[in-house]
Chains A and B, each alone.
Chain A
Amino acid sequence: MTTPIYGLMAEFDSPTALVRAARAAREKGYRKLDAYSPFPIEDLSGALDLHKNKLPLIVLAGGIAGLIAGYLLQYFVTVWYYPINIAGRPLHSWPSYVVIAFETTILFAALSAVLGLLALCGLPMPYHPVFNAPRFALASRNRFFLCIESRDPLFDRAQTGEFLLTLDPKEVSEVAH
């Protein structure tokens, strides 16, 4: 019995080869797989059947929260906490609240976009098994990787390895945990 591994990693030298391989692996029935590339490749979302992410909803919620917070802050201060009568104008002078409410909307929405991005990606993550793949440093330079993870029900070290070799990769390697 050998030590369990995280998965098998195939290396490709073009985005086209990676997308083709990802599509083939999906067709073969593999589901727990991920691709790694030095820049975003739109076609991979289709090839890997990535669902629409929830980030827009998070940002919308953040923006609405910012709008309400900014407006209520000004309402609270100018009407209740520290009312000042300026030239007999109403204390609830909503037109002058618009600017700050707008700025807090943007601020909260942008913060939720960034925090949402990190949360959905599970970052920061100082350690991840894929970094154990021998040539993985090139994933941030000019190489494209496809990893079939061992938690996939169809995963079999020998068979999956053979399957990956049929995809015409530069190299296939095991990824230690």
Chain B
Amino acid sequence: MADDTQLADPPRDVIAPGYTFGSITDQIAAVVLTKRTPVFWMACFSVGFGLLLLFLWAVAMLLAKGVGIWGIRTPVMWGFAITNFVWWIGIGHAGTLISAILLLLNQRWRNSINRFAEAMTLFAVACAGMFPLLHLGRPWLFYWLFPLPNSMGVMPNFRSPLVWDVFAVSTYATVSLLFWYVGLMPDLATLRDRAGNRIARLVYGVMALGWRGSARHWSVYETASLLLAGLATPLVLSVHTVVSFDFTIAIVPGWHSTFFPPYFVAGAIYSGFAMVLALAIPVRSVYGLQGLITGKHLENAAKVMLATGLIVAYAYILETFTAWYSGDVFEQAAIWHRMTGPYAFSYWALITCNILLPQALWFKRVRTSPVALFISSIFVLVGMWLERYVIIVSSLAQDFMNSSWGIFHATRWDWATYLGTIGMFLFLFFLFIRLLPMISIFEVRTLLPQAKVEKESRP
């Protein structure tokens, strides 16, 4: 039955016609194995590297002077640090969604974009991890977060969502790395077999662990991929749920709400798909990969963005409704302050970026235009950052007692650290596309019609 539908409608739109096993291999491997580096790569890498240096400078200042160089003052002690943490972690979630959930749902279009989306996850989690770490004030004591026996005889409090977060995020980073590496193994073997340079052959060979494509190995490998996908799926949902627990378990007005977990997960996928589009659109045109990352991929990603964006819109409406309906004056005041208070500009900007503008994605003309998609994905990324900023800062700035209110102003070091992690992300991402295959070669081979074994009519 499934075979019949396959034959009736070959996956022509997830891969351009005319590709062969050899040409797929050559095209993707050539990006890595060539000596020629495109100017686009140099430019993006330079921007990333420059901002990474800014990050190192900001961190050095932070270590020398303390977290006071940031704008965090009582009562807004979370400020940019936690905003950026939640934003980056959320961006990472699309990678796991594409690699794990879409694998379980048998969505074959994921095969061409899962590799770089997973890399995006890893680097986004690395950037996210920087913020709670630096926000500790004394980052060199970070290991106090783990239950390690120590001479002070103290232990972390396992009833605190902040400790849950440590476990959730470190598990997420580890599992994402494992999943990514397992996916890379067969492609590293391809690079080993194709590299002309001795050193490259040695390095890729060591990393491929001696993969030889044996049928016995492939059968275990397929089981392992499915199991890892099955494990990563609940994990990714749990991670942003736990991140939302950082807020909901507290009683701060505007935070203490049961719909935060699904709202945060949807927002995470929303911003993550925006980042996938923002990366895929320029990269595919520079490297001429339009035949592998086709318009179909961009359109599907846009549809996911539209759907999750509507869930986020529903959450905003529900948030306002619940505050009104609860009859709780503090909840009502918190929402009212968001809409009309000192952060009103950010609030309405986020509504514009996250809800109003992305409605353009209803139109097929927008979804099929890479430029329009790129612009809308940038808007969504900005909007989702503003959303976290408004949730965190406006709730903390004006809570129960007028006497303890205080307004947050970001300092130049807040901005330097934030822009610095964007630099770190670009730096790592462009190193990745230069050194490793950015599209999963072996999975794209399976998209070809000739990869299907013809059934012989056995007597």
Contacts and interface: CB of A to CB of B under 8 A. Distances in A.
Interface of A: 14-16, 19-20, 22, 34-45, 48, 50, 53, 55-56, 59, 63, 73-74, 77-78, 81-82, 84, 86, 93, 96-97, 99-100, 102-104, 106-107, 109-111, 113-114, 116-118, 120-121, 123-128, 130-131, 136-142
Given A35-B215, A78-B159, A110-B175, A117 B182 contact: yes
Given A20-B456, A117-B221, A121-B220, A99 B212 contact: no
Q: Is the interface of A mostly helix, strand, loop or mixed?
A: helix
A94 to B, nearest CB: 11
6 contacts: A102-B238, A110-B178, A110-B232, A121-B217, A127-B210, A138-B193
Interface of B: 20-22, 25, 147, 153-159, 161, 163-164, 167-168, 171, 174-175, 178-179, 181-182, 186, 189-190, 192-194, 205-206, 209-224, 227-228, 231-232, 234-235, 238, 242, 245, 442-443, 445-446, 450-454, 456
A104 B232 CA distance: 13
Contacts of A137: 193-194
Contact of A38 (B159, B181, B213, B245): B213
A100 B442 CA distance: 36
Contacts of B171: 103-104, 106-107
Given A99-B242, A121-B221, A128-B210, A36 B228 contact: no
Contacts of B164: 99-100, 103
B167 A104 contact: yes
A84 B164 CA distance: 17
A39 B185 CA distance: 12
Nearest to B193: A137
A138 B194 CA distance: 9
Contact of A39 (B153, B154, B182, B451): B451
B147 A110 contact: no
Contacts of B178: 110-111, 113-114
Given A38-B442, A110-B178, A141-B194, A100 B215 contact: no
